[in-house]
């Protein structure tokens, strides 16, 4: 039943995994008050149905709110403070975003970018599990609460679920073969709309980023074709503890990581969308990435257990259209979590 127990550095912060989530097993956990599991398991019940067909090692990641209040940017401090399966929200202004008049600024020799403002959503729960194949539609796992007072005037969903599927198998050896199915690691971020974003809709004054996210979720056309709004999900993934002593990439790989660390990239056609009355699930399946990108991830595999990552999601705004600018992150977070399950076994975790 209880597959593992991990005590984090922070008091009252725990990690646990559950095999085959069933009522009888949950009852045992609920009675284990000495481990302070009660609140955590209630949260798990809130998010997961008691479906007997589920057979997952579900890891509910530790939210480190104390670290969110005093975010470190020193590589060694970050490495020391964050344990495996830790996460927390981070400010959107940690990430670059296109500004108003972006095209004109670029034509004048400027970058056309500044810091984003606060993200439109905050993650309330982060889930992690391994599975023999990518779980692109996780709605059977979700049982989200519904706010009866959620304003009808708000045209964004109360909950936005970002489902990231990452291959943990070695990419094909042949140059012309791009394997797109296989064992995958899933990160499921359940996020709730911020009061500030909701209030803008209630006041009849949604900003450009609000409206662009709304189009991304519900009305992606026009434009059509290559710049369809749904092909504009942009992510930034930055190794926050790059340069720390415990992660030494070697000369060649270090050049690659230094060049691309924190570089924005578009997910384009690797996304899929699943909607119900209370939420929208946006899945980003890295199995569908090109072979080069997946090989680069595989080359970083031995170092992934010690990496702490700062991540954000943005809908790319057309640099020529001021009614889509400025850009703004809609999610931003820091986490340390495993991608490759065999490394946990070798590390004794």
Measured distance between the N- and C-terminal CA atoms of the chain, rounded to whole angstroms:
17
Tell me the pLDDT tens digit for each residue of 239-279: 999 999 999 998 888 998 999 999 999 999 999 999 987 89
Instruction: Please name which of 140, 117, 286, 121 lies closest in space to residue 189, comparing C-alpha atoms.
Output: 121
pTM to 2 decimals? 0.83
pLDDT of residue 179: 87
Rounded Cα distance between 267 and 262, Å, is: 15
Rounded Cα distance between 91 and 116, Å, is: 9
pLDDT of residue 277: 79
Write the DSSP assignment of 213-225 as a string of letters.
HHHHHH---SS-G
Tell me the pLDDT tens digit for each residue of 282-317: 999 999 999 888 988 998 999 999 999 999 999 999
Q: Is the pLDDT assigned to residue 104 strictly greater than 80?
A: yes
Q: pLDDT-based confidence at 33, cuts 50/70/90? A: very low
Q: pLDDT-based confidence at 344, cuts 50/70/90? A: confident
Record the tokens describing residue 46, joined without a space: 């809130």
- Please classify residue 176 by burial: count the beta carbons closer than 10 Å to its beta carbon, then call 0-12 exposed, 13-18 middle and 19+ buried: exposed
Write the DSSP assignment of 140-191 as a string of letters.
GG------TT--TT--S-SEEEEEEEEE-SPPPSSTT-----S-EEEEEEEE
Q: pLDDT-based confidence at 59, cuts 50/70/90? A: confident
Q: Is the pLDDT assigned to residue 3 strictly greater than 90?
A: no
Rounded Cα distance between 207 and 201, Å, is: 9
Q: Is the pLDDT assigned to residue 171 strictly greater than 80?
A: yes
Give mean pLDDT, residues 110-137: 96
């Amino acid at each position: 039943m209880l597959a593992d127990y991990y005590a984090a550095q922070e008091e009252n912060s725990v990690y646990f995994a559950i095999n085959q989530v069933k009522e009888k097993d949950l009852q045992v956990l609920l009675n284990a008050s000495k481990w302070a599991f009660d609140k955590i398991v209630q949260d798990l019940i809130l998010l997961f149905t008691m479906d007997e067909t589920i057979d997952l090692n579900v890891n509910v990641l530790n939210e480190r709110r104390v670290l969110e209040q005093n975010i470190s940017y020193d590589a060694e401090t970050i490495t020391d403070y964050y344990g495996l399966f830790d996460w927390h929200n981070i400010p959107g202004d940690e990430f670059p975003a296109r500004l108003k008049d972006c095209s004109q600024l670029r034509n004048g020799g400027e970058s056309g970018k500044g810091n984003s403002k606060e993200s439109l959503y905050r993650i309330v729960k982060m889930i992690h599990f391994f599975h023999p194949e990518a779980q692109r539609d996780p709605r059977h796992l979700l049982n989200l609460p519904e706010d009866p007072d959620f304003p009808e005037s708000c045209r964004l969903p109360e909950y936005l679920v970002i489902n990231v599927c990452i291959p943990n198998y070695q990419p094909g050896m042949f140059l012309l073969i791009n394997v797109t199915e296989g064992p995958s690691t899933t990160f499921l971020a359940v996020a709730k709309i911020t009061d500030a974003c909701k209030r803008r809709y209630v006041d009849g004054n949604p900003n450009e980023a609000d409206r662009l996210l709304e189009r991304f979720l519900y009305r992606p056309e026009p434009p059509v074709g290559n710049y369809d709004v749904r092909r504009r999900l942009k992510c930034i993934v930055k190794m926050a503890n790059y340069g720390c002593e415990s992660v030494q990439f070697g000369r060649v790989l270090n050049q690659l990581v230094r060049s691309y660390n924190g570089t924005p990239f578009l997910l384009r056609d690797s996304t899929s969308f699943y909607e119900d009355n209370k939420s929208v699930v946006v899945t980003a399946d890295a199995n569908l990435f090109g072979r080069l990108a997946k090989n680069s991830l595989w080359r970083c595999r031995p170092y992934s257990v010690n990496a702490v990552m700062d991540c954000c999601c943005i809908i790319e705004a057309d640099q020529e259209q001021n009614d889509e600018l400025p850009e703004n992150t809609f999610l931003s977070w820091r986490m340390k979590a495993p991608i490759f399950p065999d490394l946990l076994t070798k590390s004794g975790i």
